[in-house]
Amino acid sequence: MTILVPMLVGALYVCLNALIPEPHRRHVNAIMVAGAGAAYLSGGGLGAGEFPFVALMVYVGWRGLRSWTWIGIGWLLHTAWDVVHHLKGAPIIPFLPGSSHGCAICDPVIALWCLTGGWSAADLVRRLLASAPSARSATRSR
């Protein structure tokens, strides 16, 4: 459950965001990844070390306004920050000790979606239909 639930949360995030039309989908996700950089400020587990990371994530989010790749990089950076906090024992949600661990599993799911272009729900349906066994056999018979 400590692995499956965070992966499902990441998949839910992706599915809901896939419903937002472009370019708003990319802009929303750029803002989300920039905001994710500030998620640890309330707990302050790394003290003043949190501030350079926030600045980095704001920059990455700004670059993400025009690039899905930068948004994906931002989620991978946040994954690394989650791991640091998990190992230090300073979770993202102070009263949930495993929350940084869960976030470190959830974030790469989102990053993968971003690094593949942040596809829409319609794109997903097209990809699923194209990869269906009946679609492959129909293509081969032509």
Give 18-86 as a DSSP string.
Answer: TTSPTTHHHHHHHHHHHHHTTTTTTT-TTGGGHHHHHHHHHHHHHHHTS-HHHHHHHHHHHHHHHHHHH
Q: Report how far residue 127's alpha carbon sits from residue 69's, in angstroms, rounded to the nearest whole number.
A: 20
Residue 112 has pLDDT above 90, yes or no: yes
71-99 residue pLDDT tens: 999 999 999 999 999 999 888 888 888 99
pTM of the model: 0.87
